[in-house]
A and B are shown apart, each in its own frame.
Chain A
Amino acid sequence: MKKGVMRPGHVQIRVLDMDEAVKHYKDLLGLVEMDRDDQGRVYLKGWTEVDKFSVVLRQADEPGMDFMGFKCLSEEVVDQLRGELVEFGCEVEDIPEGELKDCGRRVRFIAPTGHAFEIFATKKQTGKWGVGNHNPEAWPMGLEGMKATRFDHCLLYGPNLDETLDLFRDVLGFELAEQVIAPDGKRVAQFLTASMKAHDVAFIHHEEPAKFHHASFFLETWQDVLKAADLLSMTDTSIDIGPTRHGLTHGQTIYFFDPSGNRNEVFAGGDYHYPDHEPVTWDAEELGKAIFYHDRALNERFLSVLT
């Protein structure tokens, strides 16, 4: 049941070298730089996003994800969910307004997988970049690289998937859209949505907590995915796999790495989910096909290369 969580609002990613990272996310992915703060963090977004930013880069000596934030309908929703998170047994931390520039207060909690998440309701809206919302043109001039349209989801690796599903479903109102089940009945992957999208956040079972698999960005078409692959070769960027199609969610995809080794995805298409849909289930024996629909085999990197 929906409880007022709308969408992925932001992800803060650690990078080893800020200049290289900005070049990657701006010039190659085509995100738009929106701001910087006195900690040296850089704020970016995809051009279709109405909020001021969705990707925050922070320089650190270890790559990975600091946190992922979900935007809620209202401050009342944040208060309500904060209470329920505490009741659920989550440690919550109140992050004051302005800690992220032009973002309201956030409530941070650690999921049983070890990842830090946040909920918030207020962020400055600057509108779709370059087009606005009054008689808007189809797309703005001046976009770079892959012209990524929005930050779409993250895939995260960690333990305790059952408890994490309880938290996201029962407390935050996400739905289980898709899952992978091992022969012993254990759920080893879960794709969760707060919207109609195939996934807003996904988890794969892994013993080590709090690992980052990828942040994903949406493109319009399969042709755009092919062009993204061209750009990766033109810039000699580290490719993981693709272009191909996922079995899970059926999106058309390519995986690659940022200069610090964090995995990115750009994808197009994919399934949708309504609240009355049963979860889609894949058997773990079919995992190769579930992940890479054409190769029908996993590359080892997919399961073990993480930041």
Chain B
Amino acid sequence: MGEFLQVTEQCSGQSFRCKAGQSVLKAMEQQGLKCVPVGCRGGGCGFCKVTVLSGDYSCGKMSRVHVPPEALAQGQVLACRIYPLTDLIIECRPQQPAAGHMNEHTTTKAMR
């Protein structure tokens, strides 16, 4: 009980404490910081995308569109779905909301 891990966001220089088992995004919100944009908080919208520069963490389920396997391997993950195991340094580049990947996923077709 009472184990806190330190998460530092590199672009803003802001740093906050995260309880073991708590998501990075939730810890940030609880401490009133805004260095990572908050969207759905459910791994679905991609709003809270960050790159983990150092440290270990476990992951919950994340939308494959926003975190394809290649990205995951490079530590590009969703802050609402990562749970630190050690202190973390993350980076959240100020981003334009995703209008870029327009034709990537017309998933509607194949499915029923």
Contacts and interface: CB of A to CB of B under 8 A. Distances in A.
Interface in A13-65: 14, 16-17, 58, 60-64
Interface in A236-260: 238, 257-260
A261 interface: yes
Secondary structure at the B interface, as helix, strand, loop or mixed, is loop
Nearest to A65: B108
A307 B63 contact: yes
B63 A262 contact: no
Interface in A275-307: 300-301, 304-307
A146 B108 CA distance: 30
**Interface residue tally on A, bucketed by range:** 35 or more
Interface stretch (A74-82, A109-117, A171-179): A109-117
Contacts of A116: 108-109
B108 A114 contact: yes
Contacts of B105: 62
Interface stretch (A137-145, A203-211, A218-226): A203-211
B112 A99 contact: yes
Interface string B33-61: 00001111111110100000000000001
Contacts of A305: 39-40, 45, 47
Interface residues of B, number: 27
Contacts of B64: 61-62
Given A16-B44, A61-B64, A301 B39 contact: yes
Secondary structure at the A interface, as helix, strand, loop or mixed, is loop
Nearest to B39: A305
B99 interface: yes
B42 A67 contact: no
A66 interface: yes
Nearest to B43: A261
A150 B105 CA distance: 30
A213 B75 CA distance: 28
A208 B63 contact: no
B108 A210 contact: yes
Contact of B61 (A17, A95, A207): A17
Contacts of B98: 208
Given A238-B41, A301-B39, A66 B111 contact: yes
A209 B106 contact: yes
Contact of A260 (B44, B47, B107, B112): B44
Interface in B85-112: 97-99, 101-102, 105-109, 111-112
A130 to B, nearest CB: 30
B71 interface: no
Contact of B43 (A58, A207, A209, A260): A260
A161 to B, nearest CB: 17
A263 interface: yes
Interface in A71-105: 95, 99
A203 B98 CA distance: 19
Contact of B106 (A17, A210, A260, A261): A210
B65 interface: yes
B21 to A, nearest CB: 13
Contacts of A262: 40, 42, 44
17 contacts: A16-B62, A58-B111, A60-B107, A60-B111, A61-B61, A63-B63, A66-B108, A99-B112, A108-B112, A114-B108, A210-B107, A259-B42, A260-B43, A261-B39, A262-B42, A304-B39, A305-B45
Interface of A: 12, 14, 16-17, 58, 60-64, 66-67, 95, 99, 108, 110, 114-116, 207-210, 238, 257-263, 300-301, 304-307
Closest 4 CB pairs of A and B: A261-B44, A261-B40, A261-B42, A238-B41
